[in-house]
Structure 1
């Protein structure tokens, strides 16, 4: 429906097409050209100031965007432009410029205020971010310091344990060396004491024991084998000496037997206090045939009676019916044969 209101100055309106000539209308640069001159901005309460021309263009653009596709299907309508305020063209130029200046100043102030708020918010966020970064760095440094302290403490503890282990090993080594030295000293002292006791015992026995003869040569030893002995081996110790060489009692005891004894020739048996028997064989003569005798006392003389190859004293040592090595027995009594 066409409006009869006069168009504002500076706005050119096109006539609405008739019903028979209705077609698609697209705004162009010329048809939507804004009026020449300055636009007076009207300050809206509670919102931003907008130009009526901008509003009109927005309406036209919205209509064009939403109705182009279906324009031919709709009935033909007349388009009328709204009354636009005075933008300073004509007689109200002074008031329009004043209002325009006020609106511009107010908008700049609002924009400046808004910009200041945004700057303050940005500065606040920046300060909060810097504070957070500082806290994170401080926490990282604290954790790193704690880790270094822990590592240092572990290293010190390991060093202390190693030092303690080394000191313990040294103490144990020193203690072992001391124990070994003490054991060696004790062993040496014990051996020395035993040797001394043995020497004293031998010296004492030497006064109680005597060699069976003198000026002799050992010819056959205990255990020698041969056909000359009925048992197949020698059961005594032979002292080769000239016939008539004195034969002595090796220790104090009593004579239990004296006389002829077959292959042994003339034989004297001397029994000692501990039951040991000393046999003197192949004697040429017997001086004592019974009774007790003392060590070193002559009881007969060397001869070659019985089964012999020459003059000698065959000496046997028996205990419990078994023979013993005469040489070892005499040496055990401290005698040097």
Structure 2
């Protein structure tokens, strides 16, 4: 930087600023105190290059420094050639330095961080929460936020998985409870049904036992020789229509149940036959008798003698041929099943 010219001797006392004039056309001169607003940028040879490695200083900062250097050197600005020199009062250097320092602080330039320093290059993107957690680096803050977000998402996924597992477990527990309840109900129903069946069987046994008291076998000391439904040419119908009790001739025949004698006499292939009609209309036919002990219209009770075993009619030997005709029907039913339904097992 070029040096200023040496100051000219002053013809006045600095403490008392005076005003001089150059001529009638020029007005009075006053004391000049350079400030940040009044100092113009230095042109030409005094231009300062851009600073490297740090922030750019404003031109006003450079100007302030130049002014300080010039004033500090004790130089006095000279007027243009041909004009008388003007005295310049020196300002307080401390106030100028303070102004320069203020300009530098307002320039907004940032100092370059020392090599190897841990000071972050920038604080852009930092939030108050990051600063509260002691984070000074924007990249580290971003990483922390990403990690927090990932952890939050993982926590949400874990919570969803846990809730799904709890829901599945609750559903399974409900299904298991329902299954156990169904099994218990089915078991109870089966036990109830079994108990009901047992009760029915017992009731039926009691009924048959009570009924058996009013029914009895038609004869004793017998042998069953032919049953109902057997096929053979010896029967005119082609099959056996009754139940045969083979016994010696003269064996007593008894009333199976109480009723009324509606027929007693010869009946062709049946030989001597007695028809006993019960109160419900069922007819019992006693066939092939050797003798008859009752008459038509006679009422008999269970166990009363109505005749004797014989071999009359179409027979191969002495026996009782018993037929059962419900309601007096022409076709009979199986006497064995009917006797069993009355509690009697031949």
TM-score (norm. length: structure 1):
0.65
**Aligned 8 A contact 1:302 1:312 in 2:** yes
For 1:327, what is the secondary structure of its paired residue?
helix
> Do structure 1's residue 46 and structure 2's residue 41 form an aligned pair?
yes
| Pair member with larger Rg | 1
> What is the 5 A alignment of 1:196-211?
196-211=202-217
Distance in 1, matches of 2:187 and 2:299, equals: 53
Select the structure that is richer in helix. Answer: 1
Distance in 2, matches of 1:129 and 1:328, equals: 104
**Aligned 8 A contact 1:283 1:305 in 2:** yes
> Do structure 1's residue 297 and structure 2's residue 297 form an aligned pair?
no
Matched pairs, number: 246
Deviations along 1:44-80, one digit per CA (max 9) or x if unpaired, are 96135528xxxxxxxxxxxxxxxxxxxxxxxxxxxxx
Residue equivalent to 1:168: 174
> Do structure 1's residue 148 and structure 2's residue 139 form an aligned pair?
no
> Do structure 1's residue 189 and structure 2's residue 177 form an aligned pair?
no
Cα deviation for residue 168 of structure 1 reads 0.6
RMSD value, Cα: 3.2
**Aligned 8 A contact 1:238 1:315 in 2:** yes
> What is the 5 A alignment of 1:233-252?
233-252=239-258
Residue equivalent to 1:27: none
Match of 1:266 among 268, 272, 275: 272
**CA, structure 1 residues 184+124, in 2 after alignment: closer, same or farther (shift >3 Å)?**
closer
Cα deviation for residue 185 of structure 1 reads 1.3
For 1:269, what is the secondary structure of its paired residue?
strand
> Do structure 1's residue 120 and structure 2's residue 111 form an aligned pair?
yes
Cα deviation for residue 317 of structure 1 reads 0.3
> Do structure 1's residue 335 and structure 2's residue 341 form an aligned pair?
no
Cα deviation for residue 195 of structure 1 reads 0.9
Residue equivalent to 1:309: 316
**CA, structure 1 residues 196+129, in 2 after alignment: closer, same or farther (shift >3 Å)?**
closer
Match of 1:219 among 213, 217, 225: 225
For 2:219, what is the secondary structure of its paired residue?
coil
Cα deviation for residue 221 of structure 1 reads 0.5
Which ranges in structure 2 are unaligned for 5 or more consecutive residues? Answer: 6-38, 47-72, 75-99, 114-118, 128-137
Residue equivalent to 1:13: none
